[in-house]
């Protein structure tokens, strides 16, 4: 039974939730970025959506063939059409809303960063309850990289949504073994993630590591059906890509061209290199307070903190692969860590505020508000004041006046 | 502040028991000795071989030459020349009020008949070696022999500490005095009204003040520690300690005033320095950034130690006086240092090396404790990896890329983050 006090708090909570969510949506929908041009990647996405609008889905293999032919002539790498789901979703948006390809790509990216907020909220709600969910949602609303992704026609926010969705669904499957609905949803989530971007590999390996580590860290129950779903889901994604590419040879050639040319792309060599701790530095530059809090929480983890380990494992295993990609480091790829990092940061804030005993709730609210403001200021510095589009370290350092 | 006679000698009332002087085991002493020898060798014979003089080094060497030629009594003239020069010069030169370093190098020069630059380098090297036993003793008094060994090992391989020993730069020398003052403050907090500790502390503060302007940051940090002692209860803050803190600083300023030829000249020296530094293109280009710039720089130089130290910082409780003390020192000095416009440089953080490594080692111990029966083995392995990593960082940054100035642009370039 709900106590009168709790009942009185229900509308208050609902109101807060709506307010925070509305803030997050406004921050994403309002065109705040001062970079109004069209980026290198955006041009290619636009081209693919235009082609798809023109030739239709059945002719997708022709688009792939065209890419392979063009790519083999080029000395540098351009993004492949195998990032199908983003292109296809934008195509659908373009057809149904009658908007031009660039606008469609942008709207889809924006819509999925908003959906990311909802997934973050639901995931956090399932993990820690409604107040933690609200706190994580507030932090996610103000995450600079999330807002940045909503402002441009880039795949990374879109991909982060699918990666986070899969991470959540894996958690649900571990808690509720052999539930068909959760299994199907997870399998489909994985298939969609694979069809979105090659980075699915990082997320998939990280999720596999979670499943392996479950033996010791006891996140939940790993059943044969879960393993089958984990196998069939990505397989479906790969099969779909095979069909879209027009055969295995075409698909392999696409990735081969994309990866091998990336090693000779001057821009990648110039901006994607660095030591393993480059991402740590980039994360620190972007959201210093969230980063510090998340690191603090990491070192507070006890063996029985299943949620903490779950996120730590996801971030660290994907980090391990991502930091070993030669000339392939870019802060945009860390979007999928935004929610896990903020969950951990919020936990640390909650622990810090608990020192204040009677006033801990008020202190926690103030602390969350301060972290949100710091993050919003960071967004303003990087993306409004300094007009940033690409999240390479040199530009980040330049924006905060460390490099001049 | 507490100045209650009933508190005298009652350091244990704060709940903290410093490690006894004679409590260290023979094995621990042996390990400390071996590590110290390794550390001293790294500083004396490590790569890169000392070759040339940088901008600052040449200036120090000029001061030593002048001191050699005109003697100590003509020091005020040297300060006046500096002020006159700085009033007209568009560049910023380091002031002769960094007296102790210059004077020590002069003494070395007279004693061993080395060149000025070699004498300066020898002093830097000597004091970065002296930091090792100081770090070990301080860590021992704070946390016992395990902490002493662990901290010494980490300080030994600290890239920054090796770097400052390889050049004729003041920062390692200054770090020694800052760390000495911090340790002596700790001892005085534990043993109030001990004349010997108070005298040492006062002298150390005075010597720190006559070493470098950065003494201000340390002084603020010490003042901060004394101010928060009411709540954190590091030890006992009494009137003699407060007076000695102020007296030590005042003594340093008095010495500098005498050397400068008057307090007004001394103040003018710093005013001229600050004024020029704020317009100096090199400082504007390399010393700017947000409050977390030092964190970023430290992340580039020693990410594992930094992460471990951050982890330890978040695990600090009121009961862990040693952690809280070191953390307070870093936090208060950081607060001032990150607010100096165009005045941020990773070199200035060499005084945090020992406190950070103490925290990092403690965090590492906490992690390895989860291995229960194999915790010692795990700790040794972790330390070996960490030391190997730190030495590799040193090699990449200072040997392979031959870095002299620790500015972010050069660091990111050395690590191939920015090309």
pLDDT digits (tens, 9 = 90+) for B22-40: 778 999 999 999 999 999 9
Q: Using a pLDDT cut of 70, give the percent of chain A over it.
A: 98
Q: Is the pLDDT of residue B79 over 50?
A: yes
- What six digits make up the tokens of A112? 């999925």
Structure pTM? 0.94
Position A1 confidence tier, pLDDT thresholds 50, 70, 90 = very low
CA distances from residue B81 to B74, B90, B263, B265, B278 in whole angstroms, order as listed:
11, 15, 16, 11, 21
A101, A90 in Cβ contact below 8 A?
yes
Residues of chain A with Cβ-Cβ distance to B296 below 8 Å are: 281, 284-285, 402
Optimal mutation site among B159, B280, B314, B400, interface A, most CBs of chain A within 10 A: B314
Measured between CA atoms, the residue of chain A closest to residue B371 is A303
Are A183 and A229 within 8 A, CB to CB? Answer: yes
Cα distances from B121 to residues A126, B105, B195, B338, B350, in angstroms, run: 61, 8, 35, 28, 17
**Structure confidence by residue, pLDDT tens digits, B98-118:** 999 999 999 999 999 889 999
> Is pLDDT at B6 greater than 60 in this prediction?
no
Of A271, A277, A300, the CB nearest to B315: A300
Question: What value does the mean pLDDT take over residues A61-75?
Answer: 92
CB-nearest to A288 from B292, B314, B315 is B292
ipTM, two decimals, is 0.94
Total residues belonging to chain B: 419
Statement: residue B14 has pLDDT above 70: no
Binned at pLDDT 50, 70 and 90, residue B12 comes out as very low
Task: Write the residue in B310, B315, B417 that is nearest to A274 by C-beta.
Answer: B417
Question: B399 CA to chain A: closest CA distance, Å?
Answer: 17
**Chain A residues near residue B291 by CB distance under 8 angstroms:** 288
Contact between B300 and A281 using a beta-carbon 8 Å cutoff? yes
Helix ranges, A129-247 (H): 130-141, 144-150, 155-175, 180-196, 200-217, 224-245
Chain B residues within 8 A of A274 when measuring between CB atoms: 415-417
Asked if A288's CB is within 8 angstroms of B415's CB, the reply is no
Give the minimum alpha-carbon distance from B283 to chain A in angstroms, rounded to a whole number.
11
Interfacial residues of A (vs B; Cβ cutoff 8 Å): 269-271, 273-275, 277-278, 280-281, 284-285, 288, 292-293, 295-300, 303, 348, 393-394, 397, 400-404
Q: Can you read off the two tokens belonging to residue B46?
A: 């490590």
> In 10 A of CB B264, how many CB atoms?
10
What does R_g of chain A's alpha carbons equal in angstroms?
A: 21
Contact yes or no for B293 and A402 at CB 8 A: yes
**Cis peptide, bond prior to residue B48, ω within 30 of zero:** yes
Residues of A in contact with B293 (CB under 8 A): 400, 402
Burial profile A281-301: b = 16 or more Cβ within 10 angstroms, e = fewer = bbbbbbbbbbbbbbbbbbbbb
Nearest-neighbour CA in chain A from B400: distance (Å): 15
With CA atoms as reference, the chain B residue closest to A281 would be B296
Confidence label for B66 from pLDDT (cuts 50, 70 and 90): very high
Asked whether the predicted pLDDT for residue A145 surpasses 80, the reply is yes
Mean pLDDT of A147-151: 97
Q: Is residue A132 pLDDT above 80, yes or no?
A: yes
User: What is the average per-residue pLDDT within A69-88?
Assistant: 91
Q: What is the mean pLDDT of residues B249-271?
A: 95
Residue B288 touches partner A, C-beta closer than 8 Å? yes
What single-letter DSSP state applies at residue B46?
P
In the DSSP assignment, the letter for residue B396 is I
Radius of gyration over every alpha carbon of chain B, rounded to an integer in angstroms:
21
Q: Please state, rounded to an integer, the average pLDDT across all residues of chain A.
A: 95
A400 to B415: CB separation less than 8 angstroms, yes or no: no
- Mean pLDDT for B186-196 is 95
Alpha-carbon distance A60 to A194, whole Å? 17
The predicted-structure confidence for A279-305, as pLDDT tens digits, reads as follows: 999 999 999 999 999 999 999 999 899
When pLDDT is cut at 50, 70 and 90, the band that residue B1 belongs to is: very low
């Amino acid at each position: 039974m709900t106590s009168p006090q709790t009942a009185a708090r229900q509308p208050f909570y609902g109101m807060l939730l709506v307010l925070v969510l509305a803030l997050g949506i406004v921050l994403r929908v309002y065109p705040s970025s001062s970079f109004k041009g069209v980026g290198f990647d955006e041009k290619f996405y636009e081209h693919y959506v235009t082609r798809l609008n023109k030739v239709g889905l059945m002719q997708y293999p022709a688009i792939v063939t065209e890419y392979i032919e063009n790519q083999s002539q080029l000395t540098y790498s351009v993004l492949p059409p195998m990032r199908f789901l983003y292109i296809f979703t934008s195509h659908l948006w373009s057809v149904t809303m009658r908007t031009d390809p660039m606008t469609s790509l942008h709207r889809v990216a924006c819509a999925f960063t908003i959906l990311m907020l909802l997934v973050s909220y639901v995931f956090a709600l399932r993990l820690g309850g409604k107040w933690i969910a609200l706190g994580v949602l507030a932090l996610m609303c103000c995450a600079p990289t999330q807002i940045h992704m909503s402002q441009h026609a880039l795949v990374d926010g879109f991909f982060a949504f699918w990666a986070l969705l899969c991470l959540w669904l894996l958690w649900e499957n571990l808690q509720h073994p052999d539930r068909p609905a959760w299994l199907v949803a997870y399998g489909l989530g994985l298939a969609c993630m694979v069809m979105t971007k090659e980075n699915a590999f990082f997320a998939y390996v990280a999720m596999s590591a979670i499943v392996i580590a479950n033996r010791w860290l006891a996140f939940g129950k790993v059943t044969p059906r879960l393993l089958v779903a984990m196998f069939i889901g990505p397989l479906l994604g790969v099969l779909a890509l095979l069909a879209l590419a027009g055969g295995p040879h075409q698909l392999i050639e696409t990735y081969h061209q994309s990866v091998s040319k990336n090693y000779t792309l001057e821009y990648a060599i110039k901006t994607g290199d660095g030591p393993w701790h480059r991402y740590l530095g980039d994360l620190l530059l972007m959201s210093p307070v969230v980063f510090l809090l998340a690191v603090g929480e990491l070192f507070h983890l006890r063996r029985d903190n299943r949620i903490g380990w779950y996120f730590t494992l996801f971030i660290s295993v994907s980090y391990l692969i991502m930091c070993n990609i030669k000339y392939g480091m870019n802060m945009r790829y860390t979007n999928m860590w935004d929610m896990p990092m903020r969950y951990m940061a919020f936990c640390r804030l909650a622990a810090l505020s608990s020192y204040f005993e009677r006033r801990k709730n008020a202190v926690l609210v103030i602390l969350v508000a301060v972290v949100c403001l710091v993050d919003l200021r960071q967004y303003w510095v990087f993306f409004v004041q300094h007009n940033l589009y690409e999240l390479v370290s040199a530009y980040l350092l330049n924006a905060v006046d460390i490099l001049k | 502040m507490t100045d209650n006679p009933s508190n005298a000698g009652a350091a244990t009332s704060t709940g903290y028991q410093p490690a006894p002087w004679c409590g260290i085991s023979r094995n621990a002493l042996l390990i400390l000795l071996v590590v110290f020898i390794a550390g001293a060798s790294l500083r004396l014979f490590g790569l890169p071989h000392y070759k040339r003089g940088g901008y600052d080094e040449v200036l120090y060497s000029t001061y030593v030459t002048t001191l050699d030629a005109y003697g100590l009594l003509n020091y005020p003239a040297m300060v006046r020349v500096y002020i006159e020069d700085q009033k007209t010069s568009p560049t910023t030169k380091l002031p002769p009020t960094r007296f102790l370093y210059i004077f020590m190098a002069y003494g070395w020069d007279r004693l061993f008949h080395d060149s000025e630059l070699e004498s300066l380098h020898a002093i830097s090297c000597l004091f970065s070696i002296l930091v090792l036993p100081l770090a070990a003793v301080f860590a021992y008094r704070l946390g016992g022999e395990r902490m002493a060994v662990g901290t010494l090992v980490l300080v030994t391989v600290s890239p920054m500490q090796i770097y400052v020993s390889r050049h004729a730069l003041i920062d390692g020398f200054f770090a020694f005095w800052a760390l000495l003052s911090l340790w002596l403050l700790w001892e005085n907090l534990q043993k109030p009204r001990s004349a010997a500790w108070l005298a040492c502390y006062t002298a150390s503060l005075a010597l720190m003040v006559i070493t470098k302007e950065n003494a201000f940051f340390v002084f603020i940090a010490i003042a901060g520690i004394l101010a928060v002692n009411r709540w954190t209860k590091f030890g006992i803050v009494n009137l003699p300690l407060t007076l000695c803190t102020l007296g030590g600083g005042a003594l340093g300023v008095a010495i500098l005033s005498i050397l400068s030829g008057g307090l007004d000249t001394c103040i003018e020296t710093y005013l001229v320095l600050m004024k020029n530094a704020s317009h100096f293109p090199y400082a504007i280009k390399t010393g700017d950034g947000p409050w977390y710039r030092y964190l970023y720089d430290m992340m580039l130089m020693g990410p594992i130690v930094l992460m471990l130290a951050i982890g330890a910082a978040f695990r600090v409780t009121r009961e862990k006086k040693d952690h809280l003390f070191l953390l307070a020192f870093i936090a208060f000095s950081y607060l001032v240092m990150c607010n100096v416009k165009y005045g941020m440089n990773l070199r200035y953080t060499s005084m945090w090396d020992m406190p950070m490594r103490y925290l990092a080692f403690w965090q590492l111990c906490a992690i390895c404790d989860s291995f229960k029966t194999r915790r010692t083995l795990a700790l040794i392995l972790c330390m070996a990896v960490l030391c190997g990593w730190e030495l590799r960082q040193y090699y990449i940054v200072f040997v392979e890329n031959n870095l002299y100035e620790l500015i972010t642009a050069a660091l990111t370039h050395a690590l191939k983050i920015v090309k």
